[in-house]
Structure 1
Amino acid sequence: MLKLEKLSFAYGDLKVLWDVDLEVKQGEIVTVVGANGAGKSTILKNVSRLVKPGHGHITFQGHDLRKLASHEVVELGIVQVPEGRRIFPEMTVVENLRMGSFVKSTRKDRERNIERAFTLFPRLKERAKQLGGTMSGGEQQMLAIARGLMANPKLLLLDEPSLGLSPLLVKSIFEIIKEINRQGTTILLVEQNVYQSLRISTRAYVLETGRVVLSGTGAELLDNAHVKKAFLGM
């Protein structure tokens, strides 16, 4: 579905990705884990075309993403939920959700997708008319994910969805990610919460200083000695 081959990228003179190979197959949850500053979010920005293309190849269902603008990537079915939520604080929950279906082909499904969002996130239904900026961090994260789903993504990119949330909410968010995947959406997840993300992953990659140093199933990496020592304190 998505394939990165020898992807390298630099911000000016600062190189942050080095020959990254990564693949996401349809129906999977694939996670990229690593410490802050490892280059995880830069991978997603390259896929979404939020930065100028680096060296290497990025293909999605046969399309060369490096030749496309960011809105064309969305039209292909790739939607990113950014780090830090970035909801519209002066808009209500429903207005935020409606903004997620700006792609013409998704407008016919707008009301159905709003109902789907309310089923996945009952708390959003309770706060449908509340301004996004007045909600808690956890509620805003739910809204950000729900807004991403409004575009009917084939591939959902999630950038640090658990960042800044309480342990109870973190567990809830990861269970919802599993449910979204179960309903048919393929997911590429970037996370610092190594345990929770590997627990739900089909496959995963460990990124250190811009390089993939390990890959395998989520279960294999959870049992890996290096992962245990470097990320799980074991």
Structure 2
Amino acid sequence: MSLLEIRKLSFAYGDLRVLWDVDLEVRQGEIVTVVGANGAGKSTTLRNVSRLVRPAAGQLLFQGQELTRLESHDVVELGIVQVPEGRHIFPEMTVLENLRMGSYARATRPDRARNIERAFSLFPRLAERQRQLGGTMSGGEQQMLAIARGLMANPKLLLLDEPSLGLSPLFVKNIFDIIAEINRQGTSILLVEQNVFQSLRIAHRAYVLETGRVVLTGTGQELLGNEHVKKAYLGL
């Protein structure tokens, strides 16, 4: 069953066209990955879905409902939550306070305690540091906190923008393994990522975006074996 449908999405920053007729689908229970070079339009695609920008043309449908006329807080209420590139945690708040901020929507407050326990189960390091200020944590720990905070809103669709950016190799595989576990627990995921190997490794399906256009699509395994992907993105 289709959860998110993007149809003929086009977008421009002023006179600069960034997306050209992008078609993309996330089905219930999937991890869908969008890969491509820096500047390909990956993050802009997510920003359109989360209603941080307005498309020039096209449709954005979530469970059949048109999103383009909604505001960003409206799509959160529908169950779309974005974890932004760069983490953007609250540095002067503790881990626990950051998590509580993730459940500000009224409908999610009754689940706050249960979701905190889930976050600590997924990220034991956060449980150990729950009284620590977010700004004093390592980059990998802050990324864990950003993802955990996103889960506090009970997302039906979790948008992840470059979750491995700036992380040590030790943290990178750990983050992707946790993303796969979040999906196994029932959350659909749209993942934008420059780490092509790790993101395709966990993806059910994937899209390759180049200069604002979808040039390839297939399962994660199919794209890992694709000659263009291997040469352009995997250095093989």
The equivalent of 1:231 in structure 2 is 233
Contact 2:10 2:55 in 1 (8 A): no
2:171 pairs with 1:169: yes
**How far is the alpha carbon of 1:62 from its aligned partner?**
1.2
**How far is the alpha carbon of 1:162 from its aligned partner?**
0.3
1:75-154 matches, cutoff 5 A: 75-154=77-156
**How far is the alpha carbon of 1:67 from its aligned partner?**
1.2
SS in 1 for 2:68: helix
**How far is the alpha carbon of 1:168 from its aligned partner?**
1.2
**What is the TM-score of this pair, normalised by structure 1?**
0.99
> Taking every aligned residue pair, what percent have the same amino acid on both sides?
80
Segments of structure 2 that go 5 or more residues without pairing to the other structure are: none
Residues 138-189 of structure 1: per-residue CA shift (max 9 Å, x gap): 0000000000000000000000000000111000000000000000000000
**What is the TM-score of this pair, normalised by structure 2?**
0.99
SS in 2 for 1:66: coil
**How far is the alpha carbon of 1:40 from its aligned partner?**
0.1
1:187-226 matches, cutoff 5 A: 187-226=189-228
Q: How many residues align?
A: 234
- The one-letter amino acid of 1:32's match is V
- Once superposed, which parts of structure 1, at least 4 consecutive aligned residues long, lie more than 6 Å away? none
Match of 1:42 among 32, 41, 44: 44
Measured in 2, the distance between the counterparts of 1:113 and 1:4 equals 30
The equivalent of 2:60 in structure 1 is 58
Contact 1:2 1:25 in 2 (8 A): yes
Measured in 2, the distance between the counterparts of 1:13 and 1:71 equals 28
- The one-letter amino acid of 1:181's match is N
Measured in 2, the distance between the counterparts of 1:87 and 1:231 equals 30
- Give the CA RMSD over aligned residues: 0.4
Contact 1:46 1:54 in 2 (8 A): no
